A and B are shown apart, each in its own frame.
Chain A
Amino acid sequence: MKITRIANGRVIDPANQRDEVADLWLADGKIIAPQPGTETETIDAANIVVAPGLIDIHVHLREPGQSHKETIASGTRAAAAGGFTSVVVMPNTSPTADSAATITWIKEKAANSACVNVFTTGAITKGLKGEELAPYGSLFNAGVVALTDDGRCVQNHEVMRRAVEYARMFGLTVMDHCQDYSLVGDGIMHEGEWSLRLGLPGWPRAGEEMIVARNILLAELLDSPIHCQHISSGGSVRLIREARARGVKISGEVCPHHIALTDAELAAFDSNFKMNPPLRALEDIEAIIEGIADGTLTILCSDHAPHAAYEKEVEIDHAPFGITGLETQFATFHDILVHKRRAIDLPRLIALYTSEPAKLLKLDRGTLSPGAPADITLIDPNLDWTFDKNASLSISKNTPFHGHTWRGRAVRTMVSGETVWSLS
């Protein structure tokens, strides 16, 4: 039997408040208690951080139906190259993942072609139309870990209320893409000085905050969890902070572009800076970083949204929203939050990608406890590197970060004890 010793690394396991230089032992795809002298393989991890495999709860892998943008095979390879051992995929595929049949198809495809764990989500409403509830019972039995209409937002508050109420029966968290359609209209960038200057339709902060506030009220009314996806506005952070202080089961996640870039980037009309919700102002970045630091925002994720070059290379108001992010997100957050701003320390950064998402979605992952699956990410926090989109493992290259240099990156990714990617 193969017994692996990852030697002399800085083992950081936030779920167990562990941060020490030690050996980590694996056998049979699981973490095991140390068994000195029995190892058949040794991985040297001196000066390297040994962390639970990172989890990204917000990823679009585009299958079924849009395999020209990404496949489960290519997307999970990109995930592995970013240090991720688990991804949670969004249901806005074609067909929509609103039935057990589609969930089963995705899981089978993942079993055959994915190199990291793929967790599925089901739609809140049939066809993401915001009208009728999808069959949560059969979706749950098929294995979904959450419900979301991501990319769309349920506008009818009664439908959302019943969705959250019904989902509770299965212990499923409802995740919401917060966007009020009447306020946002055809907005494609943050409403502010730059939208005025560029003549592009504005997407005001209130378009997000309105729905965050709605979700807080419903979470409170129903005493059930609602998770707000990709928070972009400082006002949303304040709403969530106040609600959490009162014990409301509301949570929020952050994507790297929302703290790395501002709306001023749109000046070149490059659609690789167009995503939904949009890049906002410096004051939003400050509020979001503060929210991450004080525990208001508990999840980091990519919203990896691949699109083909020919789809993106059109007039900016015709281009689809979204950018890739699986390979760049950890480095972006590490560089900004830990290295440059010192807003949080490395163990907390790892928690935001492991123990926190595992807790939110009740995943059997995100820890180095003996007996847990041996999903492990080795990280070199001192490595400076530059991202080249042409070297990306994603099929699509729609990234705003080509040529960016950051400090810190994953150097090896292990799923169930097997190395699925390592920095060559």
Chain B
Amino acid sequence: MTAWTRKDLTGLDELTAEEIIFLLDTARAFKGVGERSLKKVPALRGKTLVNFFVEPSTRTRTSFEVAAMRLSADVVNISATASSLQKGETLKDTALNLQALHADIIVLRHSSPGSSKFLAERLDSSIINAGDGAHEHPTQGLLDIFTIREKFGKIEGLNIAIVGDILFSRVARSNIFGLLKLGAKVTLVGPSTLVPKRFEKLGVRVSHRIDEILAEADVVNLLRIQHERQRKEYFPGLGEYVALFGLTKARAEKLKPSCLIMHPGPINRGVEIDSEVADGKQSVILEQVTNGIAVRMAVLYACAGGAGLPS
């Protein structure tokens, strides 16, 4: 019996709790591979993985690349500037071309919500969503959940705060969907423009005062905050954001000693998180990066390499 029969991972919203647990358990088995001196298993030998990034990304692409190499897959990277999407070819046509090259796995980063699902429905290749607009970033969600589960041994009943620009965040959505399925209590924190009360319909709590949630939080996951063109009308500026929502040293002192401080990166030191707090002992930001490889190995293996744990 296997808990995993999907060829694609397009989001955590459509997964069952059992499927998420299966990926997390598989990731735990793979994590050991990275700690060996010979960091490679033959699980995906002979398979071709295309990192198809229509939106810039360095860390996610690199993480997938390392994960694929540790599974012995061959990796090709295609970025937006190099791709013919710039020449007016449609996403569907470009992807059909990748399939014609016998790409077994396509890892897609794209600015349009639903773009991974769009390809998954049309191609035989496995499609792994590496971020589709503001919709989902399922491997980031999984690695965050993996990191929490590794520290606490469970997810159920934990108080998890996600702080920042929730409205435009695919990381937040994948975390919300995954954490709720596993029984966590999720609180979204941020300005009312970026964390509208309507989010409560998804089954979370919404707070506009970070000081209210510090004492009870088991995890504080801080999202990168930006104040660029399309955010100008959402809040007055970074200074006011730091004053209201930044995880300053003073605020960090009110956290439980066991509380984890997380961030999907890249961090803005002195904005959403104080520099010393980012480097402090409660911070697991770099462990998240390490765990990301194991989680992505598990996802690639589950979708393209068959089910079951590696021996």
Contacts and interface: CB of A to CB of B under 8 A. Distances in A.
Interface of A: 192-193, 196-200, 268-269, 310, 313-318
Contact of B110 (A193, A310, A315): A315
B307 interface: no
A315 B118 contact: yes
B281 interface: no
Contact of B170 (A193, A199, A314, A316): A199
Contacts of A314: 90-92
A199 B134 contact: yes
A197 B173 contact: yes
Nearest 9 A-B pairs (CB), nearest first?
A269-B114, A199-B134, A315-B112, A199-B135, A193-B201, A199-B113, A317-B112, A316-B114, A200-B113
Contact of B199 (A196, A199, A317): A196
Interface string B194-213: 00101101100000000000
A199 B111 CA distance: 11
Contact of A199 (B110, B173, B196): B173
Contacts of B199: 196
A315 B136 CA distance: 15
Contacts of A197: 13, 173, 202
A205 to B, nearest CB: 13
B198 A193 contact: yes
B133 interface: yes
A77 to B, nearest CB: 30
Nearest to A191: B198
- Mostly, the A contact residues are loop
Contacts of B134: 199-200
Contacts of A200: 113-114, 133-135
B92 A317 contact: no
Nearest to A315: B112
A318 B201 contact: no
A315 B198 contact: no
B176 to A, nearest CB: 9
Contacts of A199: 113, 132-136, 168, 170, 173
B53 to A, nearest CB: 15
A315 B202 contact: no
Contacts of A315: 91, 110, 112, 114-115, 118
Interface of B: 13, 90-92, 110-115, 117-118, 132-136, 167-168, 170, 173, 196, 198-199, 201-202
B90 A310 contact: yes
Among A193, A200, A269, A316, the most chain B Cβ lie within 10 Å of the Cβ of A269
A314 B202 CA distance: 28
A114 B40 CA distance: 68
B92 A313 contact: yes
A352 B132 CA distance: 43
Contacts of B13: 197
A199 B13 CA distance: 12
A198 B114 contact: yes
Contacts of B117: 268-269
B88 to A, nearest CB: 12
Contact of A198 (B92, B111, B113): B113
A316 B91 CA distance: 11
Contact of A196 (B111, B170, B198): B198
Given A196-B196, A269-B113, 20 more contacts: A196-B198, A196-B201, A197-B173, A198-B114, A198-B135, A199-B132, A199-B134, A199-B168, A199-B173, A200-B113, A269-B114, A269-B118, A314-B90, A314-B92, A315-B91, A315-B110, A316-B113, A316-B114, A317-B111, A318-B112
17 contacts: A193-B201, A196-B198, A196-B199, A196-B202, A198-B114, A198-B135, A199-B136, A199-B168, A200-B133, A268-B117, A269-B117, A313-B92, A314-B91, A315-B91, A315-B110, A315-B112, A317-B133
Contacts of B112: 315-318
Contacts of A310: 90
A317 B90 CA distance: 13
A192 B199 CA distance: 9
B216 to A, nearest CB: 24
Nearest to A316: B114
A310 B117 CA distance: 17
A318 B91 CA distance: 11
Contacts of B167: 196
Nearest to A201: B134
Nearest to A313: B92
Nearest to A193: B201
B139 to A, nearest CB: 16
A192 B198 contact: yes
Nearest to B110: A315
Contacts of A196: 167, 196, 198-199, 201-202
Nearest to A310: B90
Nearest to A192: B198
A318 B85 CA distance: 13
Contacts of B115: 315
Nearest to A194: B201
A193 B133 contact: no
A200 B133 CA distance: 8
Nearest to B168: A199
B62 to A, nearest CB: 24
B141 to A, nearest CB: 13
Nearest to A311: B90
A198 B199 CA distance: 12
A310 B90 CA distance: 9
Nearest to B121: A268
Contacts of A198: 113-114, 135
B135 to A, nearest CB: 4
A183 to B, nearest CB: 12
Nearest to A317: B112
Contacts of A318: 112
A424 B113 CA distance: 43
A200 B134 CA distance: 7
Contacts of A316: 112-114, 118
A190 to B, nearest CB: 12
A197 B90 CA distance: 26
Given A199-B134, A316-B113, A193 B202 contact: yes
Contacts of B168: 199
| Most chain B Cβ neighbours within 10 Å, of A198, A314, A315 | A315
A199 B170 CA distance: 7
Nearest to B113: A199
Contacts of B136: 199
A316 B133 CA distance: 11
A317 B54 CA distance: 15
A145 B232 CA distance: 44
